[in-house]
Amino acid sequence: MVNSFRQALHSGEFLVTAEVMPPKGGDTSHMIEMSKHLKGRVHAVNITDGSRAVLRMCPLAASVLLLQQGIEPICQVACRDRNRMGIQADLMGANALGIHNILALTGDPPKAGDYGDGRPVFELESVRLLKVIDLLNQGFDAHQKKLPDGPLNLLAGAAVDPQLDSWSGLQRRFKRKLDAGAQFFQSQMVTDFERLDKFMTQVAAGSDKPILAGIFLLKSAKNAKFVKRCVPGVHIPDSLIERLANAEKPLLEGMKIAAEQIKLARNICHGVHLMAVKREDLIPQILDLADIGPLS
């Protein structure tokens, strides 16, 4: 299968990705149905890897199921649950199965989720994982031993948070991920677009790697308060919460807010990464509101 995300990335067009969670159990019908709504509207669909340290189906299996539907996945790989050997084995398997887009993540600690007493691994973190992927693409393993059966062909991306409190920490972390081989960046949820613009002009300006701004569908004031309280590192202004609280149709208002944010991002960075938890079917309507039509 042609890697259209890689082609779009190198062509310089405005990139659109979205996020879908694997099921918490054996029934994949909802995940597949939500993903089908995204076909032809986004360049690729992220499959999360135990996001917020909550147990779900492994992202590799879920990515294969999407690929069977003709939907190009970006398989997230978190370092929380597997050591170097296990992660490399999964990456080799992904490559063989046609899963070439990888988002390298450190992963949320177990205490954040539903297995708080679980034992974390964290033998790698995102920067070291990016370095391992780069080695595998060159035909070497993490010990720099030659792979007898040939190199991998993975497109590695990384996460970035333009709203991180520590500006120097943000600059340092971004440069380390660039140097480690990140080919694209998807951001955490963005609500401060002046801060995003500052990040693009002062931190990312020297790189030629696409930055996709994270846009989150807030479904109601209650939902916004929950996200603000429970998701680490999220900043949601009170003005947005009030706007949702005063709206006659909060969900529609949330869609309008997301569309407005996409328009802002379009003037600042290279693309958007859309997160509409359990309502991925609304993403095409949000893109229409933002004047972004189907992919050509």
Give pLDDT tens digits for 60-115.
Answer: 999 999 999 999 999 999 999 999 999 999 999 999 999 999 999 999 999 988 99
Classified as helix, coil or strand, 221 is helix
Is 109 contained in some domain?
A: yes
Is 270 contained in some domain?
A: yes
Residue type, 79: C
Is 231 contained in some domain?
A: no
What's the pLDDT tens digit per position in 186-207? 999 999 999 999 999 999 998 9
pLDDT, mean of residues 44-71? 96
In this predicted structure, the answer to whether residue 231 has a pLDDT above a threshold of 90 is: no
- Give yes or no for a contact between 227 and 216, defined as CB atoms under 8 angstroms apart: yes
Is 208 contained in some domain?
A: yes
| Residues 270, 254, 194, 101, Cα dihedral to 10° | -30
Give the CATH number of the domain where residue 259 resides.
3.20.20.220
Domain range for residue 93?
Answer: 5-219+254-290
Helix, strand and coil content of the chain, in percent to the nearest 5, comes to: 45, 15, 40
Query: pLDDT band for position 3 (50/70/90)?
Result: low
Q: Smallest Cα–Cα separation from 152: which of 88, 103, 104?
A: 88
Distance CA 153, CA 155 (A): 7
Is 74 contained in some domain?
A: yes
CB atoms closer than 10 angstroms to residue 20: 25
What's the mean per-residue pLDDT of the chain? 95
In this predicted structure, the answer to whether residue 276 has a pLDDT above a threshold of 80 is: yes
Q: In degrees, to the nearest 5, what angle opens at C-alpha 182 toward C-alphas 32 and 197? A: 90
pLDDT, mean of residues 255-282? 97
Percent of the chain with pLDDT over 90: 91
Query: pLDDT band for position 1 (50/70/90)?
Result: very low
Query: pLDDT band for position 230 (50/70/90)?
Result: confident
Phi, psi of 108 (to 5 degrees): -75, 145
Is 247 contained in some domain?
A: no
Cross-strand bridge partners of residue 15: 271
What pLDDT is recorded for position 150?
A: 98
Domains in the chain, number: 1
Is 159 contained in some domain?
A: yes
Range of lowest pLDDT (32-36, 105-109, 228-232): 228-232
- Give yes or no for a contact between 185 and 156, defined as CB atoms under 8 angstroms apart: no
Is 98 contained in some domain?
A: yes
